[in-house]
Structure 1
Amino acid sequence: MAQELEHECPECGVKTFYRAASTSLHLGEKIKWHCPDCDYGFVQIGEIDSSAA
């Protein structure tokens, strides 16, 4: 399981996000990612993430 993810932060630009939590669901693994420099975070389930919403 990856503990880091390169992703676009709307506040800081492209950053290395860190896994804050994860759990298994019937849809796949739910992972919460957080930017280390601000309070921005998003949830990813499989290939779908809440940052695209």
Structure 2
Amino acid sequence: MSLELEHYCPDCDDDRVFYRAASTTLHLGTKVKWHCPDCDYGFVQVNGEVDTSEA
């Protein structure tokens, strides 16, 4: 799994390269926490399908 992810950051109002802050395996799949290095914004993805980031 990648350590970086290009994603839109609503706090920076631009696309940023997010870094994987944590990862764990659940019964639903793999849970990954991503954080923007330029601000405090972060989001979680579960199995690459569930995404808690702001649209």
Q: TM-score, normalised by structure 2?
A: 0.89
Q: In structure 2, what is the equivalent of residue 4 of structure 1?
A: 4
Structure 1: tracts of 5 or more residues without a match: none
Measure, in 2, the Cα distance between the counterparts of 1:52 and 1:38: 15
* Aligned-CA RMSD value: 1.2
The structure with the largest helix share of the pair is 1
Q: Which segments of structure 1 move beyond 4 Å, counting only runs of 4 or more?
A: none
Q: In structure 1, what is the equivalent of residue 30 of structure 2?
A: 29
Aligned residues: 53
Q: How far is 1:52 from its partner?
A: 4.3
Identity %: 70
